[in-house]
Amino acid sequence: MPSSDGGEEDIEMSKTGLLQDEAKLNEDALPVKRSSRSTVIDGACILLNIASTVVLVFLNKWIFRDPQLKSMQITFAMWHFTCTSIVLWIASQSPFNLFVPVRLPFWQMVPLCSFFAGFLILGNLSLAYNSVGFYQLAKIMTTPCVAILQYFFLSKSISLQTALALAAVCIGVGLTNTSSSANTTVFGASIAIAAFVVTAFYQVWIGKKMKDFAVSSPQLLLNQAPISVLLLAFMVPFFDTVPDVGKIPRDTIVALFLSGLAAASLNLSQFLIIGRMSALTFNVASNVKTIIILTYGWISEGRALTLKDSLGIILALGGATLYSQLSQR
């Protein structure tokens, strides 16, 4: 016959089991809530990145229609660097605390900042002297250029699959640009080539510097941007012309202000995507941006999308996406 003590013990054990089950259910429900919130934030970061990129490209194209601002590329780059510095500094402070700011050696940052300023100025010049479609497709060539530089300077070999993916990128860009090159001058094409080569050098170097300094992308950029402003300030008197502000349309001045905010939003969202998700996710988002920019750009230019253009876009974007997946393995 069971004792009363044993019965009470069974009851207590049952209560304990029920409490444990309830706690387990609560614990299981908590990650779902956090996961849903995290998914919403991730989606917001991707949307901010896509929106800021598309808006920035067409704001810059609008701004460069003004002949005075078109000859102020260095000042324009300084404005974007300044906005980026301010936004990153705010992001590193309370209550945001998105990253911890660090101070890196000034003289070791100067060469990297020179490339940083160079790729942005050349990119703006490429947009100023080329159509939106040619400018955007030329940027895709940065991907195979990075692979080539890593092979020669960092001894990073590539597989046959990677080589085929890069070949698809090159063929796709070539097919699409064959039709649009009629509206591009030799000078414009030369600037576009210089832009993606310098950008590739910068991307390879920045990856090495992040490892050398053991810092994150925003920590490095918060050091780069102000130094880049300082370096460019010495070049302004020799290359830029002083504009007559009274002759600049008011809507262009508004676009200039908005482009600084868009540039800062672009940089910040890029760091958030890479930090919260992965570089692969960022690359996929970049391909979405490319499709949107190309489509809108060709519509605004009154250009009809041909079968060869479509095939070129599919090859270029497909090759870039495949390359990103292979590089993550």
pLDDT tens-digit profile of 95-123? 888 889 999 999 989 988 988 888 888 98
Rounded percentage of the chain residues whose pLDDT exceeds 70: 79
Selected residue with higher pLDDT from 256 and 319: 256
Question: Could you say which DSSP state residue 247 is in?
Answer: G
Question: Which residues have a Cβ under 8 Å from the Cβ of 100 and sit 6 or more positions away?
Answer: 92, 219
Identify the three-state secondary structure at position 306.
Answer: coil
In this prediction, residues 309-325 reach a mean pLDDT of: 78
Q: Domains of the chain: which residue ranges?
A: 46-327
What's the helix, strand, coil split of the chain in %, to 5? Answer: 85, 0, 15
The answer to whether the beta carbons of residues 294 and 54 sit under 8 Å apart is: no
Is residue 259 predicted with pLDDT exceeding 90? yes
Two tokens at 308? 């060869």
Is residue 38 predicted with pLDDT exceeding 80? no
Q: What is the mean pLDDT of the chain?
A: 78
Counting beta carbons within 10 angstroms of the beta carbon of residue 198, is it exposed (0 to 12), middle (13 to 18) or buried (19 or more)? Answer: buried
Two tokens at 71? 């000859």
In angstroms, rounded to a whole number, what is the distance separating the alpha carbons of residues 111 and 198? Answer: 13
The whole-model pTM stands at 0.69
What's residue 13's pLDDT? 39
Question: Which residues have a Cβ under 8 Å from the Cβ of 117 and sit 6 or more positions away?
Answer: 77, 81, 228, 231, 232
Is residue 211 predicted with pLDDT exceeding 90? no
What's residue 285's pLDDT? 67
Two tokens at 153? 């300077």
pLDDT tens-digit profile of 48-71? 888 898 899 889 989 988 988 888
Q: Maximum distance among all alpha carbons in the chain? A: 104
What's residue 22's pLDDT? 43
Question: Which residues have a Cβ under 8 Å from the Cβ of 174 and sit 6 or more positions away?
Answer: 312
User: Dihedral of the CA atoms 77, 83, 86, 90 (nearest 10)?
Assistant: -140
pLDDT tens-digit profile of 2-32? 444 444 444 343 434 433 444 443 444 444 4
Report the amino acid identity of residue 7: G
The answer to whether the beta carbons of residues 80 and 257 sit under 8 Å apart is: no
Is residue 1 predicted with pLDDT exceeding 50? no
In angstroms, rounded to a whole number, what is the distance separating the alpha carbons of residues 252 and 205? Answer: 35
Question: Which residues have a Cβ under 8 Å from the Cβ of 274 and sit 6 or more positions away?
Answer: 217, 281, 282
In angstroms, rounded to a whole number, what is the distance separating the alpha carbons of residues 255 and 249? Answer: 10
In angstroms, rounded to a whole number, what is the distance separating the alpha carbons of residues 261 and 220? Answer: 20
In angstroms, rounded to a whole number, what is the distance separating the alpha carbons of residues 62 and 74? Answer: 17
Identify the three-state secondary structure at position 182.
Answer: helix
Two tokens at 15? 């209560």
